[in-house]
């Protein structure tokens, strides 16, 4: 038996299969039964290594269900393995990393306690929304980026005079990194979001993007509001095609249709969250972070 086990949560099963073959690990799959009241009953199939286990589970919707399943898998792994690494490709709750308005609970603080309590010795995430969230964890943490994987995909497309665009100033570093890896320029738009209503407005006046193909880069897309507003603005500036590159495509409600309707040619995301747009595999990047 291998010295390392990959324990696959249901939310990341395809990724776990790819990862286990890459690092030649023993794959332990989980069977989930959801009771009528929403409770999860988990049964593991396979032998867990006594040495090291890697629990792989993304925390996307249903967020609380996937979180409880992740913690349950970690707890079971800890009963057998001396070391348990939790790989959470998409870390739900990462936006709740500080108190923005008085009385708000910093849920990442709670997650830090839960992961430690369940028995994880290390937590690895892919492009976590904010690194501040990991400061609330009292165990080892690591954030890896999918940017090189995404850039490799975009380099294969025949883009005309491409330019990387961040939909806001908060994503400026990400856009810079993406552009540097690509070997092209980048710009960052100014946006304003109402903290209470969540409504987005683009405050940038004009940018020269005439006849250029644009790659709008973000870490995650939930409802797609920022992407829609940015695309509408850029289309008015006479750009050519608009592509979207993101690590995590949640695409809640009707987000994908709204984004396409705004004029986006293609949404490209990774398999941290499985779906139609997740055409970029990040199992190599995760493998390097474990071994």
Instruction: Count other C-beta atoms under 10 Å from residue 28's C-beta.
Output: 23
pLDDT band (50, 70, 90) for residue 191: confident
229 is catalytic: no
Candidates 191, 238, 260, 266; catalytic one: 191
- Contact in structure between 68 and 20 (CB atoms under 8 Å): no
Does the pLDDT of residue 1 top 50, yes or no? no
Residue 141 has pLDDT above 80, yes or no: yes
Does the domain at 4-145+282-290 match CATH 3.40.50.2020? Answer given as yes
- pLDDT of residue 206 exceeding 80: no
Taking only the tens place, the pLDDT of each residue in 146-189 is 999 999 999 999 999 999 999 999 899 999 999 999 999 999 99
CATH topology identical between 4-145+282-290 and 147-271: yes
Whether cis (ω within 30° of 0) applies to the bond prior to 262 is: no
Question: 127 falls in which pLDDT band (50, 70, 90)?
Answer: very high
Cα–Cα distance measured from residue 228 to residue 61, given in angstroms and rounded to the nearest whole number = 22
The architecture in CATH of the region 147-271 reads 3-Layer(aba) Sandwich (3.40)
pLDDT in tens, 38-80: 999 999 999 999 999 999 999 999 999 999 999 999 999 999 9
Residue ranges of domains in the chain: 4-145+282-290, 147-271
């Amino acid at each position: 038996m291998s010295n390392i086990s990959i324990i696959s949560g249901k939310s990341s099963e395809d990724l776990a299969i790819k990862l286990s073959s890459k690092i030649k690990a023993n794959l332990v799959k989980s069977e989930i039964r959801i009771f009528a009241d929403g409770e999860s009953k988990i049964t593991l199939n396979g032998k867990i290594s006594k040495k090291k286990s890697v629990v792989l589970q993304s925390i996307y919707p249903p967020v609380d269900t996937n979180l409880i399943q992740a913690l349950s898998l970690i707890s079971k792994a800890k009963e057998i393995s001396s070391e348990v690494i939790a790989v959470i490709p998409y870390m739900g709750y990462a936006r709740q990393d500080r108190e923005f308005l008085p009385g708000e609970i910093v849920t990442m603080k709670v997650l830090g306690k839960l992961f430690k309590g369940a028995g994880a010795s290390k937590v690895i995430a892919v492009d976590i929304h904010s690194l501040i969230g990991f400061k609330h964890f009292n165990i080892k943490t690591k954030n890896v980026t999918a940017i090189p994987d995404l850039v490799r995909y975009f380099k294969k497309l025949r883009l005309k005079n491409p330019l990387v665009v961040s939909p806001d100033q908060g994503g400026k570093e990400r856009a810079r990194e993406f552009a540097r890896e690509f070997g092209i320029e980048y710009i960052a738009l100014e946006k304003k979001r109402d903290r209470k209503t969540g409504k987005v407005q683009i405050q940038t006046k004009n940018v020269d993007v005439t006849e250029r193909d644009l790659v709008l880069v973000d870490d995650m897309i939930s409802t797609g509001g920022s992407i829609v507003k940015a695309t509408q603005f850029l289309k008015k500036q006479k750009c050519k095609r608009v592509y979207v590159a993101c690590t995590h495509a949640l695409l809640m409600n009707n987000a994908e249709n709204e984004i396409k309707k705004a004029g986006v040619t293609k949404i490209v995301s990774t398999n941290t969250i499985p779906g139609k747009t997740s055409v970029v595999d990040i199992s190599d990047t995760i493998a390097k972070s474990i071994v």
